[in-house]
Homo-oligomer: A and B are copies of this chain.
């Protein structure tokens, strides 16, 4: 198992996070992760409507902004929200964005 490089919690920048989430495709990825928890890149990108290389680019953007973390296991890469880190760095930010997102509005917030 290999963790792909991502910024430390204290190095996560607000503008980077906002920029990462200011894209419909990436917002949908984050929305799915918020309800489904950890999932593979393939599952996350299945109904995204973009080429798999485009999706890969978005995963990288989200990872480098500190929004998600990628764990490589064998052939597959599992991605998940850095919910705890984001909440520690920017309290309430992720929750309010998820609540505002059409995708996840109404869905219960996981503990």
Contact with B along A26-56 (1 / 0, CB 8 A): 0100000000000000000000000000000
Q: Are B24 and A15 in contact (CB under 8 A)?
A: yes
Q: Are A18 and B92 in contact (CB under 8 A)?
A: no
Closest Cβ of chain B: how far from A82's Cβ, in Å?
A: 15
Closest Cβ of chain B: how far from A74's Cβ, in Å?
A: 34
Instruction: Count identical subunits in the complex.
Output: 2
Majority-rule SS of A interface residues: helix
Closest Cβ of chain B: how far from A107's Cβ, in Å?
A: 15
Closest Cβ of chain B: how far from A98's Cβ, in Å?
A: 10
A109 at the interface (CB under 8 A from B): no
Closest Cβ of chain B: how far from A66's Cβ, in Å?
A: 12
User: CA–CA, A21 to B96, complex, Å?
Assistant: 15
